[in-house]
Amino acid sequence: MAELSFPKRPYRTKGGVHAPHNKHTAHKESVVMPAPAMVALPMTQHIGVPCKPIVKVGETVDVGQQIAGSDAFVSAPIHASVSGKVKKIDKITMPDGSRVDAIFIESDGEMRLSPEIKPPKVDSLSDLLTAVRNSGLVGLGGAGFPASVKLNIPADKNVDTLIINVAECEPYITSDHREILENSWDVVSGIITVKEFLDIHRVIIGIEDNKPDAIKALREIADSSVDPKDEIRVLPIKASYPQGAEKILIKACTGREVPVGGLPSDAGCLVMNVGSIAFLARYLKTGIPLISRRLTVDGGCIANPVNVIAPIGTPIKDVIEFVGGYKEPPYKLIMGGPMMGISLPNDELFILKQNNAILALSEKEARDYTPSACIRCGKCLDACPMRLQPLELANAANRGDIDGLNFYHAMNCMECGCCSFICPAKRHLVQNIRLGKALMQKAKREAIAAKDKGGKK
């Protein structure tokens, strides 16, 4: 195998927009939130098969005790984030509108650690995968893909590069930035573990150049004796949205392109969020599973924007009250970043594993506009990081034109929202493309169903 080189500067990526950074919380120490009176842990906090509760109503649980799990490969177990009594198991409405079971635990305020918790013994890759699975880790950057699946690279894929995603290109969010500043040693020790067990000899930490202090902190460790062969390098990339999108980050860090419909492993890359890798290091040291996470609480309506380390399942209302409450009634409440996050109908939902921010935006920040006619300025083409034609895709979606959607590669749209952000006519481009993608999937399902029907005759 040819020697892998490290890029001196990032490869060129196309498109993107200059969204306002608004990283107000970057220089504030994270605060740890005490146990709330009650937590609710939904059975889907990851992409994949939902978990099934393994505790009963009325049972007493300890912090870190597994309370739900699944035998499916693509899934991640769920652990109690507080100690106390299981109050009820009831359906709740998730931010995306789906109804799923959630385990409600009434906290006894003791935060009593489960006696079963001990650091896992990891001697081989399969030990590591088992440990990661048991830790309940999912991608903490927002997507929530189970980490044990991600690390379980199929034998036919040749992955030679580990990319650590610290781009954090969404406005407002600084949880990854704070993770580095507060836990930089965890980050590096997690990287070393993963790279040793997966036999990867090139680790690129892709970080936006608007975090000079984090770049410095990581460089100091990466250049020290912990990395004698100099296989870990920090690569500052241009601060522009959406540099942290997996496919864009791979292009910027390695120059490779993930094939349409493919996975990062098809481009020889494994991309992990910095929060995930730091958690992994801590888990291997302490054995405490994923029961809390750092999230940014910010927005024009928040009195005291800050990063909070909150138990998973904490009601959003409690988190906001903990940081000092609302300054003014919010116009929009968003779970995640303002470009790709989900707007919530109320603040009575709960913090999820993959939830990196809660933003309470004012009307000034998140104003809705009435769309006007497309003037065909082509700015959406320039902004699209995937080099698609959003205006044509949105038109095809509006017409219900499946062939048109296929012709313009609708499925390669990652829904970053740059087109809708830039559009001078304020058209709902990405929103329509999303509908178009749903239409395509429906057509595909119908075609398969029709074929099956035909086969039976």
List 166's β-bridge partners, or say none. 207
Quick one: the chain helix, strand, coil %, rounded to 5? 30, 20, 50
**Beta carbon nearer to other proteins, 58 or 329:** 329
Beta carbon of residue 68, minimum distance to other proteins (angstroms, whole number): 28
Tell me the C-alpha distance between 257 and 157, whole Å. 15
Beta carbon of residue 347, minimum distance to other proteins (angstroms, whole number): 6
Tell me the C-alpha distance between 171 and 241, whole Å. 8
Beta carbon of residue 317, minimum distance to other proteins (angstroms, whole number): 7
**Beta carbon nearer to other proteins, 55 or 439:** 439
State the angle between helix axes of 429-456 and 390-399 in degrees (0 to 180), rounded to the nearest 10: 50
Beta carbon of residue 341, minimum distance to other proteins (angstroms, whole number): 6
Beta carbon of residue 138, minimum distance to other proteins (angstroms, whole number): 20
**Beta carbon nearer to other proteins, 276 or 395:** 395
**Beta carbon nearer to other proteins, 222 or 248:** 248
**Beta carbon nearer to other proteins, 103 or 410:** 410
Q: What is the DSSP letter of 115?
A: T
Q: How far is residue 98 from each of residues 43, 44, 69, 143, 416, measured CA to CA in Å? A: 12, 10, 19, 16, 22
Tell me the C-alpha distance between 165 and 324, whole Å. 31
**Beta carbon nearer to other proteins, 12 or 453:** 12
Beta carbon of residue 254, minimum distance to other proteins (angstroms, whole number): 13
Beta carbon of residue 257, minimum distance to other proteins (angstroms, whole number): 4
Closest CA to 41 of 312, 316, 310, 318: 312
**Beta carbon nearer to other proteins, 30 or 165:** 165
Beta carbon of residue 256, minimum distance to other proteins (angstroms, whole number): 9
**Beta carbon nearer to other proteins, 219 or 409:** 409
Whether residue 163 contacts residue 253, with contact meaning beta carbons closer than 8 Å, is answered with yes
**Beta carbon nearer to other proteins, 17 or 132:** 17
Q: Which ranges of 119-239 would DSSP assign to H, the alpha helix?
A: 125-135, 147-151, 175-198, 212-222
Q: Give all strands (DSSP E) within 190-335, no chain letters.
A: 202-208, 232-237, 269-273, 292-298, 306-311, 332-335
Q: How far is residue 212 from each of residues 172, 189, 442, measured CA to CA in Å? A: 17, 21, 46
Whether residue 7 contacts residue 255, with contact meaning beta carbons closer than 8 Å, is answered with yes
Residues of the shown chain interacting with other proteins in the complex, contacts defined by CB under 8 A: 14, 17, 19-20, 171, 247-248, 251, 257-260, 262, 317, 326, 329-334, 338-347, 361, 365-369, 372-379, 381, 385-389, 391, 407-409, 412, 415, 417, 420-426, 428, 430-431, 434
Contacts of 216 (CB under 8 A, 6+ apart): none
List 53's β-bridge partners, or say none. 68
Beta carbon of residue 355, minimum distance to other proteins (angstroms, whole number): 15
